[in-house]
Structures are given as C-alpha cells and as structure tokens.
Structure 1
C-alpha cells in the first residue's frame, strides 16, 4: 500500500512547480472557505473590478490615459449601481410583496381547481388523494411563511450588511482598477521565481474566464431586459419579478430555464387560465429561451467552454453549495480552471517514459 502511495506521489509531485501550484491552490481555497464571509466585500470588489477591467483596457486602446479610463468606468459602474438599487430593486420588491399578498387567493383558486379533478377523471384521481395533496401543500406553505417571518425579523443585520457593501465595495473597485498593475506586480513578486506551470495555467485560463464572466453578465442583462419588455407588452402580472428570475436563470445551465418556466406558467395560468393569452406567454418565453441558446450564447461565448454537461451540473452543485450565488456564478470558470490544472499537471513517470521512448526511436 505504501509503495503504491509513494509511486503516486512521485508521479504527480516529483516536479517542484507542481508542489508549489498545489500549495497555492489549496491555500487559496482554504482562505476563501474559512474567511469567505469576512472577506466577502473584498472578494466582491475584486470580482467587479475584474469584470470592469476589460472596459478600462478598451478605453486605453482608444488612447485615453489610465486615470481617465478608470474614472470613466467607475462613473459608469456607479450609474449602473444607482439604477439597480434605485429603480430595479424597489420595483422587484414591490411586486414581490404584492405576490405574497395574493398567494392565499391563488392557493384557494388552485384548491378549487383541484377539487374538480375527481369529477372529471374519477378513474385516475380520488377525493382522498386531492385532500392529502392539499393538506401537504398547506403545510409546506405554512413552513414557508414561518421561514419568511424569520427572515424579515433578521432583516436589520442584512440591511447593515447592504449598507457596508454599498460603501466599501465601490471604494475597493476604484482602487483595484486604479492600482491594478501595482497590485499585480506585488503579487507576482511574492511567487516563486520558477513558476512556469502557474504561468501556463494562468495564460490558458485568464482570457477564457474573463470572456465567460463578462459574457455571462451581458447575457443576464439582455435576457432580463428583453423578458421584461415582452412581459410588459403581454400585460403579465409581476413582469419585473419574473424578468429578474429569467435573467438569473441563465446562471444555471440546462436547469435554470426549466425551473424559471414553473412560476411563469403558474402566474400566467392564474391570471388568464387556459386562454390564448396564456399560450402567447408560453410561446414568447420559449422564443426567448431559443434565441438565448442558439443566437446570444454563440455570439457572446465565441470560445466555448469544453466541459461535459455532467461536469457543469456537478460544478454548479458543489460550488453553489460552498459559496451560494457567487459559487453558482463562478461554477463553470472554476470547473474550467480545474480542468486546465488537470491537463497541465506534470506526470513525472509518464513524462520520463515518453522521453526514453523518443530517445530510443531516435
């Protein structure tokens, strides 16, 4: 057993750079897992600065000085932040409160519709089954109401956290953008001189991750805005709330669109019943999803992430469970990083064997 373990260690950790890379990755993940909640404003500012760095680079290519590019991007960022917190969030919150107030009426109507099923389909559904289903649904809604009450009672600390984020994060974003070169040089100076493997992995991943993250942000904005416009034109209730849900659903590949379909169909069904308006809503939502998957995604993500669907879903589950929203957002980049490290990792025994075979063939 020990011999197998020694051979495995020699195979994958005989290279000094591999050991350094493993230590750096393990230390980075340990810091995020252990101190992630305390460093959340810092990490959020770093992520946002990383997203905005591409626009700064674009302005600099147009001939603008670094300081002016940073100020322009920072002002655009503040404008977008003001729009989100001044317009989008209040509208979504208002519609969410209206939806919660209307839930009892929706539940009563849903129960009345269910009670007609035994009359229409007596061979498939009985009154006892419907009654048990209604009791189960009422219990679930009761637990949800208790959870909602507990969340509202704990809203004061959450409000303080939001205020802290609104103050600290923009300041951190500005300094990360303004001093990006200094911070990068300082970080590089702390790394070992022999860092070929780290440079190889970073070079392969940097552009791909940057394109993916920025493209995903643009996709969320476009899909959410188009959905909101379509829902308003169709006269759907809670259009802003549903549009935010549809926009965020693109974060979870293969699953998000299917999950977002349920509340959209339920609200449309309660609003119009089985009518032409309901069918129009479903058709429009299907067209939005089709255009997103077949037009928008290929345009935004020219360099496709070559990952198996099972690997993507596993990454969403694992990193989402560890870090919540940001874990879901960065699930595919982190999975791609893991794949890049896996492929670039030196294998001492195999490399030595291949070198010996090439010498013998020569």
Structure 2
C-alpha cells in the first residue's frame, strides 16, 4: 500500500526529530555550556539592545552585560564562601558542648522510662576533628581523582566557568542575525504561526524573568532585615544569598535555611534562637508561596505548584543541575505550546464532529 504525501511528510519529520534527539543525547556534555550561554544571551539581549539604543557599540554593550553578570555571581560567592569557612571550624569547637547539654537534658528524661540514652560526645568530637582538619590532602586527592574519572566531567566544569561567558558574548554580538537565519529555515507556510508562537513565548519568558527578579529582590531584603532583627550576626550574607538562591525553587530556600539554622545554632546555642530563625524562614516561605510567587510569577506564566514540582524533578532527572535551573522557563515555553495544541484540538473535527450526547439518554 503506497504512502500518501502527508504520511511521507510525517515520517520525514519524525525521522528528523529522532536524529536530532540522538545527537542531543550523544553531545549533551558538550552542549551544556552552549545551552547555558544561549539562555544567558536571551536574558541579556534586552540590556544590550537598550545600551545600543543609547549609542553604545554592540561589542561594548555585550561586554558590559557579561561583566555585570559575572560580578553579580562573584559577589554572591564572596557572600557565601566566608560564611561556610567561618562556620565549619566552629563545628569542632561548639558542637561537642551542645551535645553535652543535650545529654544533660535527655539522659534523665530517658531514665524515667527505664531507657539508657546518651550521645557519645567523644566519638562525635573525633569525627569532627577528622572532618574539619588534618585531611585536606586526602580531600584534594579525592577531588582530583573524581575529575580524572572522565574527560567529560572536567570539560563540563571548565566549559561552564570559562567557555559559557565567551560563547554568550559572541551570541550577543550577532543575536539578531542568528535569529533571522533560524527563522529563514522555517517553511513559508508556517512562518506566521511560528512567529506568533515565538512572540507569545517571548512575552511569557520576559514576564517570568521580571517577576523572578522582583521575587528575589523582595526576599533578599526580607530575610536580611528579619535575621538582623533576630540578632544573627551573619544576617546580611545569609539573607542576600537566600533571596537570590530562590531562583532555584525549593533547593535555594533549603540551602539558605540550613546555613541560617547552623549559624543560629553556633551563635545563640539556645533552642529559642534557633526557633526564631526557623520562624523567619517559615514566614518567608509562606509569604513567597501565598503572595509573592502567585502575584509576581505564577500568574505571569500560569504554572500550577504541582506542575512546578514535576518540572523540577523531570528536568533535573534529564539535565541534572542545569535542568533544575532552566525547569521553570522551559516549562513556560512548553505551556505556550500546550495551550496552542489544546486550542487546535478544541477547534478540530476530532473534537467537534460526531453525535452529541442528549441529556438523560445514556445510550448516546
């Protein structure tokens, strides 16, 4: 039975899609920095265009945009690295004392029920000593050996750190031409619908980025001020980091919470201080989930919280940490596609044709 022209065309497009998927699967480690560079280029392109409209050369505007982004990332690292380096040595000194207090409280309480329960403080102190000091060389050797497992791991690290901003810079220089060349490959009969899809996608992503920046800024101020009112000395670095890290949903909040609780435990050494810090993060999570994200972000892209969790898990499984970073914007693009598919389905003969059910007549 000979195939019709529509069937041949469908098989051809399916074959092209399979080939592209296989190439992406094989080249995934190499394509990661280029994918990140494309995301950065898309995010920074409006800034470059605004600078160009003010008669700033495009090469200079692209360089300024990339430099500004690198400075922001470096500032975040400079905020969080001192917190970690300051808190980790305190673990060896203060955690055993905290455990002694815990023993003084829990041992009599357990004795009332005829149970002998206590924490081996000496063992914990020995473990912390080995963990914090005296084994730097072993840690370095393990790190280097893990990098030597395969060239792809080292290439990914080097690519993300050095190749990504370079590729993003060259993409920004020729962004408009690259977009026009990509559009020229679209068959003329599809160009109108594809352009409409791209315009809607661009609007959704623009709203997402603006809403995400607003949420990050508001939360950074909130956590910094609230932790300072509680009396935490490291309120500024931990608060700013938590606010900026919410760009990675759930994971950023979790890391900030752990850092804040650890700092509160080592600084206050009381349950009250730790509970106050936990209350700050509880209030922040409620405000973010019930007000900020729905008003500034959720309504802009139309993603249900369950869809957000599924997107994070799915993209994280497929692309690792990079997938977690791009899960929400990629889901916003997919949402636009799903809306258009639903609209076509509702207006199609498959949905509209056929006998209509009459109320009260179960046979139809």
TM-score by length of 1: 0.70
> Aligned-pair distance for 1:103?
2.7
Contact 1:118 1:125 in 2 (8 A): no
CA distance in 2, matches of 1:35, 1:124: 61
Look up the match of 1:78. Answer: 67
Q: Which 5+ residue runs of structure 2 have no aligned equivalent?
A: 1-5, 356-364
Question: 1:145-168 CA deviation, whole Å, 9 max, x = no partner?
Answer: 999656643598889866655543
* 1:60-89 CA distance string (max 9 Å, x none): 6xx435x6366335314303413533x442
Map of 1:319 onto structure 2: 315
Contact 1:96 1:241 (C-alpha < 8 Å) held by counterparts: no
Residue 93 of structure 1 pairs with residue 81 of structure 2: yes
Q: Residue 205 of structure 1: which of 179, 198, 201 is its match?
A: 201
Matched, 1:236 2:225: no
Residue in structure 1 matched with residue 54 of structure 2 by the alignment = 64
* Residue 178 of structure 1, aligned match among 173, 177, 192: 173
- 1:221: how far off? 5.3
Instruction: Quote the Cα distance in structure 2 between the aligned partners of 1:30 and 1:125.
Output: 64
Distance (whole Å) between structure 2 residues aligned to residue 206 and residue 339 of structure 1 = 12
In structure 1, C-alpha distance between the alignment counterparts of 2:163 and 2:217, rounded to whole Å:
24
* CA distance, structure 2, for counterparts of residue 311 and residue 235 of structure 1: 36
What secondary structure is seen at the aligned counterpart in 2 of 1:252? Answer: coil
Give me the whole-angstrom Cα distance separating, in 1, the residues matched to 2:80 and 2:185: 45
Change over 3 Å in CA distance of 1:257–1:241 after alignment to 2: closer
Residues 219 and 284 of structure 2 are in contact (CA less than 8 Å); yes or no, is this contact kept in structure 1?
yes
Give the Cα separation in 1 of the matches to 2:243 and 2:158: 27
Cα offsets for 1:151-197 (capped at 9, x unmatched): 64359888986665554333322222221121011112223334366
Equivalent pair of 1:220/1:247 in contact (CA under 8 Å)? yes
Q: 1:229 to 1:72 in 2, by over 3 A?
A: farther
**2: CA distance, partners of 1:206 / 1:46:** 14
Q: 1:224 to 1:88 in 2, by over 3 A?
A: same
Q: Superposition RMSD on alpha carbons, in Å? A: 4.6
Ranges in structure 1 where 5+ consecutive residues have no aligned partner: 1-12
| 8 A contact 1:95–1:238 mirrored in 2 | no
- Give the aligned partner of residue 359 of structure 2: none
The 1:125–1:112 alpha-carbon spacing in structure 2 relative to 1, beyond 3 Å, is farther
Q: Which residue of 2 aligns with 1:3?
A: none
Distance 1:348 1:262, change over 3 A: closer
Quote the residue 1:108 is aligned against: 96
Q: Which residue of 2 aligns with 1:44?
A: 36
Matched position secondary structure for 1:99? helix
Contact 2:316 2:322 in 1 (8 A): yes
The answer to whether the aligner puts 1:153 opposite 2:144 as a matched pair is yes
Q: Is the 8 A contact 2:242 2:256 kept in 1?
A: yes
**How big is the shift at 1:45?**
1.6
The separation in 1 between residues aligned to 2:118 and 2:269, in whole angstroms, is 24
Q: Is the 8 A contact 1:204 1:340 kept in 2?
A: yes
Q: Cα deviations across residues 209-230 of structure 1 (Å, max 9, x unaligned)?
A: 2321453355445534654565
Structure 1 residues 202 and 152: CA distance shift in structure 2, 3 A: same
Cα 1:327/1:54, change in 2 over 3 Å: same
Q: 1:332 aligns with which of 321, 325, 328?
A: 328
1:352 maps to 2:342 = no
Please give the alpha-carbon distance, in whole angstroms, between the structure 1 residues aligned to 2:91 and 2:168.
40
Conserved? CA contact 2:30–2:156, under 8 Å: no
Give the distance between the partners of 1:171 and 1:73, measured in 2 at CA.
Answer: 10
Give the number of equivalent residue pairs: 337
Q: Could you give the per-residue CA deviations for residues 22-52 of structure 1, whole angstroms, max 9, x where no partner exists?
A: 7777666554443222122222221111111
Deviations 1:111-141 (A, max 9, x none): 324423131354679435856xx88xx69x9
Higher relative contact order (CA 8 A, sep 6+): 1
